[in-house]
Amino acid sequence: MIRLEKRPQPSRAWSMATPLVAVLATMFFGGLLFAVLGKPPVEAIRTIFWEPLFGEFAFYYRPQLLVKGAPLVLIAIGLSLGFRAGIWNIGAEGQYIMGAIFGAGAGLAFYPSESFLIFPFMVIAGAFGGWLWAMIPAILKTRFGTNEILVSLMLVYVAEQFLASVSLGLLKNPEGFGFPGSRNLQSWDAAHNAELIAGSGMHWGVVAALIAVIFAYVLLNRHMTGYHIRLTGEAPRAAKFAGVNPTRLVLFCLGTSGALAGLAGMFEVSGPSGQISIDFNVGYGFTAIIVAFLGRLHPVGILLAGGLMALTYIGGDIAQSNLQLPAAAIQVFQGMLLFFLLAFDLLTNFRIAIGKPEVA
Partner 1 sequence: MTVPLLSLQGLTKAYPGVVANDSVSFDIGEGEVHALLGENGAGKSTLVKMIYGLVKPDSGKMLLRGQPFEPAEPRQARADGIAMVFQHFSLFDALNVAENIALGMENPPEMRDLAARIREVSETYGLPLDPFRTVGDLSAGERQRVEIIRCLLQDPKLLIMDEPTSVLTPQEVEILFKTLQKLQSEGTSILYISHKLEEIRTLCDHATILRLGKNVGECTPSETSARDMAEMMVGSSLQTPQRAAREFGEVAMDITGLSVPAPSAFGTALKNVHLKVRKGEILGIGGVAGNGQDELLGVLSGETLTDADAVKLHGKPIGRLGPTARRRFGVLAAPEERLGHAAAPDMSLTENAMLTGSVREGLEKNGFLDWGATTDFAERIIKAFDVRTPGPGNAARSLSGGNLQKFVIGREVLQDPDVLVVNQPTWGVDAAAAAAIRQSLLDLAAKGAAVICISQDLDELMEISDSFAALNEGRLSAPREAAGLTVDEIGLMMGGAHGMEVAHV
Cα 132 to Cα 128: distance, rounded to the nearest angstrom:
6
Q: Does residue 248 touch partner 1 according to CB under 8 A?
A: no
The answer to whether the peptide bond before residue 112 is cis (omega within 30 degrees of 0) is yes
CB of 333 within 8 A of CB of 33?
A: yes
Per-position b or e across 265-280, b if 16+ CB within 10 A of its CB? bbbbbbbbbbbbbeeb
Q: Does residue 222 touch partner 1 according to CB under 8 A?
A: yes
Minimum distance of partner 1 from residue 131's CB (angstroms)? 21
Q: Does residue 231 touch partner 1 according to CB under 8 A?
A: yes
Residues near 48 by beta carbon (within 8 Å), at least 6 away in sequence: 311, 312, 315, 316, 318, 319, 333
Minimum distance of partner 1 from residue 86's CB (angstroms)? 13
Cα 24 to Cα 6: distance, rounded to the nearest angstrom:
25
- Nearer of residues 10 and 199 to partner 1, judged by Cβ: 10
CB of 101 within 8 A of CB of 171?
A: yes
Q: 353 - beta bridge partners?
A: 3
Helix (H, G, I), strand (E, B) or coil at 10: coil
CA separation, residue 331 to residues 119, 284, 326, 334, 343 (Å): 36, 14, 9, 5, 18
Scanning 23-31, 41-49, 97-105, 230-238 for contacts with partner 1 by CB under 8 A, the matching segment is 230-238
- Nearer of residues 10 and 176 to partner 1, judged by Cβ: 10
Q: Of residues 130-149, which lie at the interface with partner 1 (CB under 8 A)?
A: none
Scanning 27-35, 80-88, 189-197, 217-225 for contacts with partner 1 by CB under 8 A, the matching segment is 217-225
Q: Does residue 242 touch partner 1 according to CB under 8 A?
A: yes
Minimum distance of partner 1 from residue 27's CB (angstroms)? 31
Minimum distance of partner 1 from residue 242's CB (angstroms)? 5
- Nearer of residues 245 and 322 to partner 1, judged by Cβ: 245
Scanning 5-13, 130-138, 155-163, 298-306 for contacts with partner 1 by CB under 8 A, the matching segment is 5-13
The residues that touch partner 1, with contacts defined as CB under 8 A, are: 8-10, 222-225, 227, 230-231, 234-235, 237-243, 245, 356, 358-360
